């Protein structure tokens, strides 16, 4: 094979965890362990920090069955970090250290699994290695529940969070209208700058249990209009279920969760309770109806018990293809997803330059948001619904999920 | 059959919904429809209010397949109520009205599915019918996520909520320690007077992902001791996961969620955010560490997607046995659960007098709480673990749960 490059590889996980980031890690680790060009497989403890601190777990020491259970294990099993790398042109200290570690362990393949910032890290390392003359193939594996990466149809992690959110909204819908007296229920969903996850609540509408009103951060929020919307729905239907992004903001850019307005005076303690509580308090104050604010919080990020089979499999494939592509000679790329043709959903895996992904945030297109800014269109449903299909037959132990138990033997 | 009593039956659902209350309803409805002594089967709209308002759905009009899907449908599909009946000795208006409706539809069997208050309603109706001379067999079917009914080993609804709570706590555990910096995460769990559900968080400990500290309402809460507990755990382990009942209270009985103390001055806005937010703010203030408060809210009550198979089946059986027992001549009883012998878990169904259940609240036994009041013993685990076993192969539609779609045809 003309591009054969022999050496070790490192896989690192970065940014917020998801239900399926470990499936991608397993895709990398399993494929790498099985590849004859890859001599050793290391997992970096807490992403790039593990490289800088020389804390690498030797994946070859792990039991194969336990590694496979990574497919069933939420969060980032190797540990994650939020570490912003300096620009190597102004300060290359970290990069020199990484090079030192790469040389120490003969690392010729580096896989980094994360979102926007992680692809930026990945890109900088890739370019530094090129310049340094140390041949090392650097590949990004996408991950983010926020679904805001450029140049990919969607991101691993999004679909499982979306499925959890839609299912939970359906269950809340059922619960919140059980009495013959009405209630306004406000569900706060993650996604500070992009509304993909909040929009996913609309999938509950496919079984008639969706939110009445949906507010994304792509649209400016107006408190008076919000109160009027809720009042109208409540009067019409006797109940109102609202899905709102944590990142909704006023026209001047201030986050609603942090701003005090005349409408929320005395309520705007962003520290105590979040946006859902604040909006529930405003509705209670203005409309004097029964309210409840629910923040899905961390629950939506790591609800592996409700993961989408499509997501779990695609996440694995993203890791596998990253390794196969790197061994075949690729570097400086991220594995991206492309929806193949129309008709039945099919995902194709393509490679895109890391530079085209790093540091951008993809938002929900304006044409997928209803003109009044309180819902999403059928186009969004058609986009998202195929992604949440299927559930995984997850191993359990005494009725509880059976997670991977790694030994995490530090490499010497 | 010597006790054969021919006539219609009514099933009503009452109190807070659960993941499996509709399984009990299905147990009643299916068994009643199939029984030759029961001529018509009615579902009361919003519990006893549906009887008082003459709003009865004719279950004979429903499609059998849709009825069966009640096993997959969370919340109370017939609608629920929280309606406290007067003492018939002081005011029998409601009871006379119920008698009128019973006569109108020739109701000879009445099944009421609920918790403490509902068993009280059931008991009062039973005694009134006895006195009135209208032969009607009245049976209670237990239901409550709170698990606080007397004279039964456990209650339908508890196990599914417990399974959801334990699984969610395990997922939060995984998520909250993904970085190399620590966090104190506080999870607020339902159960105002009884700590069964909060205790269930300890089931996550069976896979090594349980809370470090658990606070039940059975023990007095002390804010200074709480802060000291968290500080100790955080220093030892670098992280701290806390499960706390919404009903924790100070020694003088004031709920922590409602009380302002010197420790929480400026934070005690019970209206805005709940207990978890308040405790997180206190920890942030006192220990200056990263905190997150998570309230499981309605999510824990109706998470049918994660229901326990044991719970779903037992809930169905409770309804079925209520009908069979009533047809056989029983009245004024509730179907209760008895754990058969030791060794492998087996549930026996027994009948207990409604009067022995109504209005009492069963708490977690003091000997199942650790002496320092921050955890539960193995005895609790041994009690609860068999109840959360098994998951149900739940029908789905486009990746979303397929719930029952009843026609709800009002009886004439």
* ipTM for the predicted complex: 0.95
- Partners of A311 on chain B (C-beta within 8 Å) are none
Of A264, A282, A300, the domain-final residue: A300
Contact yes or no for A292 and B298 at CB 8 A: yes
Enumerate the β-bridge partners of residue B240.
Answer: B184
Residues whose CB is less than 8 angstroms from the CB of residue A89 and which lie 6 or more positions away in sequence, other chains included: none
Nearest residue to B108 via CA among B1, B3, B34, B9: B9
Asked if B344 has any chain A CB less than 8 Å from its own CB, the reply is no
Contact present, A272 and B265 (Cβ < 8 Å): no
Handedness of CA A188, A189, A195, A199 (dihedral sign): negative
Same domain (yes/no): A294, A307: no
Could A278 and B272 be called an inter-chain contact, meaning their C-beta atoms sit closer than 8 Å? yes
The two counts, helices (H) then strands (E), for chain B are 11, 13
We report the CATH number of the domain holding residue B167 as 3.40.50.460
Does A358 map to a domain?
Answer: no
- A residues 99-158 lying closer than 8 A (beta carbon) to B: none
Is there a contact between A400 and B206 if contact means CB atoms under 8 Å apart? yes
In a domain, A82, yes or no: yes
Number of domains chain B contains: 2
Task: Please tell me the distance in Å from A82's CA to the nearest CA on chain B.
Answer: 8
Whether residue A126 sits in one domain with residue A14: yes
* CATH number, residue A86: 3.40.50.450
Q: CA end-to-end span of chain B, whole Å?
A: 30
CA triplet B100, B106, B107: central angle to 5 degrees? 85
Interface test with B, best of A175, A181, A189 (most B CBs within 10 A): A175
Q: Do B239 and B279 lie in a common domain?
A: yes
Query: pLDDT at residue B216 above 80?
Result: yes
Whether the Cβ atoms of residue B169 and residue B199 lie closer than 8 Å to each other:
no
Average pLDDT, chain B: 94
Strand partners, A138: A110
Torsion angle in degrees (nearest 10) through CA of B344, B350, B354, B358? 0
User: Residues 378-397, chain B: which have Cβ within 8 Å of A?
Assistant: 385, 388-391, 396-397
Contact (CB, 8 A) for A322 and A137: no
φ/ψ of residue A13, rounded to 5? -115, 140
Shortest CA distance to B30 belongs to which of B75, B77, B62?
B62
d(CA A381, CA A344): 14
**B163 and B63, same domain (yes or no):** no
**What does each C-alpha distance from A365 to A208, A340, A371, A380 come to in angstroms?**
24, 20, 12, 9
Query: Distance from first CA to last CA of chain A, Å, rounded?
Result: 30
> How many Cα atoms within 13 Å fall on the side-chain side of residue A354?
26
B369 domain-assigned: no
**Residue A360, pLDDT score:** 83
Same-domain status, B293 and B309: no
Residues B227 and B339 in one domain: no
Question: Model confidence at A3, in pLDDT bands (50, 70, 90)?
Answer: low
Digit-coded pLDDT (tens) for B19-36: 999 999 999 999 999 999
Distance CA A340, CA A345 (A): 7
Mean pLDDT, residues A49-63: 98
Domain end (from B267, B300, B333):
B300
Q: Determine contact, residues B59/B26, Cβ cutoff 8 Å.
A: no
B326 within some domain: yes
pLDDT at B268: 39
Same domain (yes/no): B24, B89: yes
* Partners of residue A170 in chain B, C-beta under 8 Å: 400-401, 403
pLDDT of res. A359: 78
B363 in a structural domain: no
* Residue of chain A whose alpha carbon sits nearest to that of B78: A178
pLDDT at A273: 54
Candidates B114, B115, B175, partner chain A, best to mutate (most A CBs within 10 A): B175
Q: Are residues A98 and A169 both part of a single domain? A: no
B206 with B242, same domain? yes
Task: Establish if B292 touches chain A: CB-CB under 8 angstroms.
Answer: yes
Task: Enumerate the β-bridge partners of residue A314.
Answer: none
B272 and chain A in contact, CB less than 8 A: yes
- Which among A16, A351, A6, A300 is positioned nearest to A152, based on CA atoms? A351
Same domain? B175 vs B55: no
Where among A239, A269, A300 does a domain terminate?
A: A300
B189 interfacial to chain A (CB closer than 8 Å): no
Give the model confidence (pLDDT) of B325-365 as tens digits: 999 999 999 999 999 877 899 999 999 999 998 878 899 99
Question: pLDDT averaged over chain A?
Answer: 94
Indicate yes or no: CB of A299 within 8 angstroms of CB of B295. Answer: no
Site from A48, A113, A174, A382 to mutate, B interface, most B CB atoms within 10 angstroms:
A174
B336–chain A Cβ distance below 8 A for any pair: no
Q: How many residues comprise chain A? A: 412
Cross-strand partners of B58: B42
A-to-B residue pairs, Cβ atoms closer than 8 angstroms: 196
Mean pLDDT of B105-116: 96
Nearest one of A201, A407, A165, A409 to A302, comparing CA atoms:
A165
Residues A57 and A15 in one domain: yes
Is the pLDDT confidence value at A272 over 60?
A: no
Q: Give the nearest chain A residue to B402 (CA atoms).
A: A207
* Residue B408 within any structural domain of the chain: no
Is residue A3 exposed (0-12), middle (13-18) or buried (19+ Cβ within 10 Å)?
Answer: exposed
- In chain A, residues with a C-beta closer than 8 Å to the C-beta of B171 are 74-75, 298-299, 302-305
Cβ pair A295:B295 closer than 8 A: yes
Q: Please tell me whether residues A262 and A327 are part of one structural domain.
A: no
The minimal CB distance from A167 to the residues B80, B298, B401 is found for B401
CA distances from B280 to B145, B241, B273, B275 (A): 26, 11, 11, 8
Give yes or no for residue B399 having a pLDDT over 90: yes
What is the extent of the structural domain holding A215?
A: 158-300
Smallest Cα distance from B356 to chain A, Å: 27
Tens digits of residue pLDDT in A77-131? 999 998 988 999 999 999 999 999 999 999 999 999 999 889 999 999 999 999 9
B130 within a domain of the structure (yes/no): yes
Q: Is residue A354 part of a domain?
A: no
Contact of B138 with B325, CB cutoff 8 Å? no
Reported as a single tens digit per residue, the pLDDT across B244-282 is 999 999 999 999 988 654 333 343 333 445 899 999 999
Model confidence pTM above 0.90: yes
């Amino acid at each position: 094979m003309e591009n054969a490059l022999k050496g070790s590889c490192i896989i690192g996980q970065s940014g917020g965890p998801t239900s399926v980031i470990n499936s991608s890690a397993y895709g990398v680790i399993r494929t790498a362990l099985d590849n004859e060009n890859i001599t050793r497989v290391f997992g970096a403890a807490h992403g790039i920090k593990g490289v800088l601190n020389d804390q690498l777990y030797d994946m070859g020491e792990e039991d194969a069955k336990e590694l496979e259970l990574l497919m069933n294990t939420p969060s980032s099993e190797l540990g994650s970090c939020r570490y912003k790398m300096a620009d190597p042109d102004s300060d290359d200290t970290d990069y020199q250290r990484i090079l030192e570690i790469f040389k120490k362990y003969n690392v010729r393949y580096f896989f980094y699994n994360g979102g926007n910032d992680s692809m930026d890290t990945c890109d900088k390392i890739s370019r530094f290695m090129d310049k340094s003359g140390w041949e090392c193939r650097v590949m990004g594996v996408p991950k983010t529940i926020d679904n805001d990466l450029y140049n990919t149809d969607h991101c691993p992690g999004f679909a499982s969070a979306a499925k959890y959110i839609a299912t939970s909204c359906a269950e809340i819908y059922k619960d919140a209208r059980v009495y013959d007296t009405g209630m306004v229920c406000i569900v706060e969903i993650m996604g500070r700058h992009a509304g993909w996850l909040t929009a996913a609540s609309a999938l509950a509408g496919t079984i008639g249990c969706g939110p009445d009103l949906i507010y994304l951060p792509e649209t400016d929020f107006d408190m008076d209009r919000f109160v009027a919307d809720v009042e109208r729905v409540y009067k019409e239907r006797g109940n109102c279920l609202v899905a709102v992004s944590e990142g909704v903001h006023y026209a001047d850019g201030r986050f609603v969760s942090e701003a005090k307005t005349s409408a929320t005076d005395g309520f705007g303690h962003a520290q105590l309770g979040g946006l859902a509580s604040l909006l529930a308090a405003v509705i209670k104050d203005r409309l004097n109806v029964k309210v409840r604010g629910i923040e899905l919080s961390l629950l939506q990020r790591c609800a592996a018990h409700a993961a989408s089979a499509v997501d779990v499999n695609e996440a694995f494939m993203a890791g596998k293809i990253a390794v196969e592509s790197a061994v075949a000679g690729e570097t400086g790329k991220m594995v991206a997803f492309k929806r193949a043709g129309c008709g039945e959903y099919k995902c194709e895996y393509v490679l895109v330059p890391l530079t085209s992904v790093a540091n951008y945030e993809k938002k929900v297109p304006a044409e997928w948001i209803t003109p009044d800014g309180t819902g999403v269109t059928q186009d969004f449903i058609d986009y998202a619904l195929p992604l949440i299909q299927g559930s995984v037959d997850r191993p359990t132990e005494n009725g509880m999920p059976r997670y991977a138990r790694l030994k995490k033997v530090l490499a010497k």
